[in-house]
């Protein structure tokens, strides 16, 4: 069996290329460039998926699907625009699709149990900051269950991925005013949910600040 290994390529040269250049090379069939792009973007895609999809394993599946979709649709990528925006659009769309699926709904209960467990574990050997981080992340997972997919995606892109309103609009394929509406409604719903889920949590924070 004759194998041709990609190691013969100049990885270093490729590593200096921009995302857009790598995408164009990948579109021409260069798998080395595609894999480099995957490696470069894995953290960002997994981060978005984990924020939107409650279960970490599901989020990883979504991340894999994102890169497969990228590979399948590279011919549709318009290189006049940012590769990142296009990638985030695929990542948020697939994450939202996943949220809508029945499988995700089935797992909602499991995710909630996970949060409870995480809180219990956090009181153990972890540092106070780590415990708090885990608690806040768990709180977000639980409170954000009430958000629509678009509201959740807009909030995640804004608060956790540092995207501007215009970028979020491009990613979600809507106008900036719609993004602002999504953000406003997301905050309103989250506020209500936090107060419903754990009023004592906030009271504790308030005491600690004095």
Partner 1 sequence: MTNPCAAVRSRFEPYRDESLARDERMAMRDHLASCADCRSEAARFDPVLLFAAMPEETVSAAEAGQILAAVRSGIALKTAEKRLASASGSGSRSLSSVLSPGRRISATAAAVAAAVVLAWTAGPGAALRVTPVLPASPPSAAAPSSASLSGSGSSIVPAARASASDPVDGGSMTVPSALARPEAAAGSSDLPFGEASGPAKGNLPADATIYDWNPGGGQPRVVWIVDRSLDI
Binding site for partner 1 (CB under 8 A): 1-6, 9, 26-32, 35, 38-39, 42-43, 46-47, 50-51, 60-61, 63-65, 67-68, 71-75, 129, 132-133, 136-137, 139-140, 155, 159-160, 162, 164-165, 180, 183, 187, 190-191, 194-195, 202, 205-206, 208-209
CB nearer to partner 1: give 20 or 27. 27
Residue 17: CB minimum distance to partner 1, A: 16
C-beta of 172: minimal distance to partner 1 in Å?
A: 16
**Residue 165: other Cβ atoms inside 10 A:** 17
- Taking a C-beta distance cutoff of 8 angstroms, is the pair 20, 79 a contact? yes
For residue 144, which of 185, 110, 94, 204 has the smallest C-alpha distance?
Answer: 185
Shortest Å, Cβ 12 to partner 1:
17
The distance of closest approach from Cβ of residue 32 to partner 1 in the complex, given in angstroms and rounded to an integer, is 6
Q: What is the dihedral of CA 41, 91, 155, 117, to 10 degrees?
A: -80
Choice between 4 and 16, CB closer to partner 1: 4
Greatest pairwise CA separation for the chain in angstroms: 72
Helical pair 102-122 and 56-73, crossing angle rounded to 10 deg: 130
Smallest distance, partner 1 to C-beta of residue 185, A: 12
Q: Which H or E element spans position 39?
A: helix 31-52
19, with CB counted inside 10 A (0-12, 13-18, 19+), is middle
């Amino acid at each position: 069996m004759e194998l041709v290994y990609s190691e013969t390529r100049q990885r270093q040269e490729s590593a200096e290329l921009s995302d857009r250049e790598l995408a164009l090379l990948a579109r021409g069939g260069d798998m080395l460039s595609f894999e480099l792009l995957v490696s470069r973007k894995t953290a960002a895609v997994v981060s978005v998926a984990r924020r939107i999809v409650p279960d970490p394993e599901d989020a990883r599946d979504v991340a894999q699907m994102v890169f497969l979709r990228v590979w399948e649709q590279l011919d549709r990528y318009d290189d006049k625009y940012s590769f990142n925006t296009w990638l985030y659009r695929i990542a948020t769309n697939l994450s939202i699709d996943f949220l809508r699926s029945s499988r995700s709904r089935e797992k909602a209960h499991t995710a909630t149990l996970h949060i409870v467990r995480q809180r219990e574990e956090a009181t153990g050997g972890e540092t106070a900051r780590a415990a708090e981080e885990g608690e806040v992340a768990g709180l977000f997972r639980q409170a954000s269950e009430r958000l629509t997919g678009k509201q959740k995606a807009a909030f995640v892109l804004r608060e956790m991925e540092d995207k501007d309103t215009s970028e979020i609009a491009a990613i979600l394929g809507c106008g900036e005013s719609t993004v602002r509406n999504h953000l406003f409604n997301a905050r309103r719903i989250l506020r209500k949910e936090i107060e419903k889920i754990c009023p004592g949590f906030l009271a504790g924070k308030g005491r600690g600040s004095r």
